[in-house]
């Protein structure tokens, strides 16, 4: 099969032939139909986060089940599915206490003595974030996908697998935004726009979108923002505090920078919560004023929107089909696999919401 392989940090992906194995007892072979190009992939390309190389990247996808292992009970051949990088085992402490997105059990991976899921010229390739979806096929654990209704378009379904689940889930699950509360979202890329959409679905009274690109205002408003701040020429923290007369109940950082994480905390009202969704590069730290904690302000991380994805993703599909989840405007461009590097170049310029690789194009 054709796949986009990262061979060296800082270099473009290469389209190469890769071999894929047969499904084990709890594994599913999927024909990839669409794969979103996510900023998280760029972190690994640029070396902000380490990963064994060479590797097939990609982790936001949807497809059709082709084969299943002998013990698979959750999906069957012909099912349309969304994948999720936070594969869960179902029996560890995290899973049994309702925190499936935090599962790190090795049971969802092949043993080191088994044949690898992906190979090239007889040598195993490490699977990227349990998926490796920049490829014509995926071989994954059954608890890394969920069946969805067949009238859902694949290119929009793929986005639910990462950016939408991450953004909407951070609002609804991680921070538990309540109707009428105030929200600020820093960064209007795919995850940030999804957080804005999630805040609107949750009934937030005021949703302030913040971005360095003034052209993102109309897009943010389309997803549910009530206000927009261009941080390129405005002190965002000061502006938010003035607009809300003291700060917001919830702030969401969707970029992955120390500076913006600090801003998210500093724009809170007393008792507010800052949620760091973006991937701050390894080794970087943030600095906060200790006295602020006397006002019961909180800062916390959010892993994949604290999802329960077998439940959440079919519901998000229904939200889209009923018009409440704004996925059409999230797709800025549809590309072929061979154009994947173009998508990352556009991402670096901050000009688009989301590019999607479509495999039937």
Q: What is the DSSP string of 151-173?
A: TS-HHHHHHIIIIIHHHHHIIII
Q: Which residues contact residue 188 at a Cβ distance below 8 angstroms, ignoring those fewer than 6 apart?
A: 196, 209, 210, 211, 213, 216, 219, 220, 254, 353
Beta strands in 163-226 (DSSP E): 182-186, 206-211
Structure-block tokens of residue 164 = 């939408």
Helix (H) / strand (E) containing 211:
strand 206-211
Look up 162 and say whether it is catalytic: yes
Question: Shortest CA distance to 128 belongs to which of 18, 284, 258?
Answer: 18
- As beta bridge partners, residue 5 has 14, 56
253 three-class SS: strand
Q: How far apart are CA 243 and CA 199, in angstroms?
A: 18
Matching residue, tokens 């024909």: 31
The CB-side HSE value for 196 (13 A sphere, CA atoms) comes to: 31
Catalytic: which of 84, 95, 145, 162? 162
39, 40, 194, 250: the catalytic one is: 40
- DSSP designation for 115: P
Separation CA 181–CA 253 (nearest Å): 17
The total of other beta-carbon atoms located within 10 Å of residue 251's CB is: 32
Task: Report yes or no: 329 and 218 within 8 Å, Cβ to Cβ.
Answer: no
For residue 40, indicate whether it is catalytic.
yes
Q: Between the CA of residue 92 and those of 100, 103, 127, what are the distances in Å?
A: 9, 7, 22
Candidates 26, 39, 59, 143; catalytic one: 59
Among 38, 89, 103, 145, the active-site one is: 38
**Which entry of 26, 39, 43, 249 is annotated as an active-site residue?**
43
Residue in the block written with tokens 């389209």:
15
Bridge partner list, 20: 118
Query: Annotated catalytic, 99?
Result: no
Q: How far apart, in Å, are the Cα atoms of 101 and each of 80, 93, 98, 169, 278?
A: 22, 12, 9, 11, 16
Q: Is 38 an annotated catalytic residue? A: yes
Q: Is 39 a catalytic residue?
A: no
Instruction: Please give the positions annotated as active site.
Output: 38, 40, 43, 59, 162
């Amino acid at each position: 099969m054709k796949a986009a392989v990262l061979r060296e940090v800082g270099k473009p992906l290469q389209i190469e032939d890769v071999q894929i194995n047969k499904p084990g007892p709890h594994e599913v072979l999927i024909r990839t139909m669409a794969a979103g190009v996510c900023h998280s992939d760029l972190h690994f390309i640029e070396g902000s986060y380490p990963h064994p190389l060479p590797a097939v990247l990609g982790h936001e996808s949807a497809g059709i089940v082709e084969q299943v292992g002998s013990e698979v009970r959750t999906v069957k051949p012909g099912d349309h599915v969304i994948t999720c990088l936070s594969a869960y085992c179902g029996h560890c402490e995290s899973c049994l206490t309702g925190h499936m997105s935090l599962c790190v059990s090795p049971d969802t991976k092949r043993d080191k003595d088994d044949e690898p899921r992906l190979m090239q010229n007889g040598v195993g390739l490490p699977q990227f974030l349990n998926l490796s979806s920049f490829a014509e096929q995926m071989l994954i654990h059954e608890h890394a996908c969920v069946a969805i209704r067949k009238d859902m378009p694949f290119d929009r379904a793929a986005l639910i697998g990462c950016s939408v689940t991450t953004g909407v889930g951070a609002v609804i699950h991680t921070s538990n935004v309540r109707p009428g509360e105030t929200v600020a979202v820093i960064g209007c890329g795919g995850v940030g726009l999804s957080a804005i959409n999630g805040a609107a679905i949750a009934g937030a009274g005021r949703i302030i979108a913040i971005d360095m690109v003034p052209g993102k205002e109309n897009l943010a408003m389309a997803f549910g923002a009530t206000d927009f701040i261009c941080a390129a020429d405005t002190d965002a923290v000061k502006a938010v505090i003035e607009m809300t007369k003291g700060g917001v109940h919830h702030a969401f950082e969707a970029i992955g920078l120390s500076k913006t994480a600090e801003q998210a905390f500093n724009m809170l009202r007393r008792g507010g919560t800052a949620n760091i969704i973006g991937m701050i590069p390894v080794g970087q730290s943030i600095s906060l004023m200790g006295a602020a904690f006397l006002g019961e302000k909180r800062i916390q991380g959010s892993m994949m929107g604290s999802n329960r994805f077998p439940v959440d993703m079919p519901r998000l599909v229904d939200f889209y089909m009923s018009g409440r989840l704004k996925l059409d405007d999230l797709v800025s461009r549809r590309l072929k696999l061979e154009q994947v590097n173009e998508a990352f170049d556009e991402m670096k310029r901050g000009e688009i919401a989301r590019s999607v690789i479509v495999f039937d194009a």
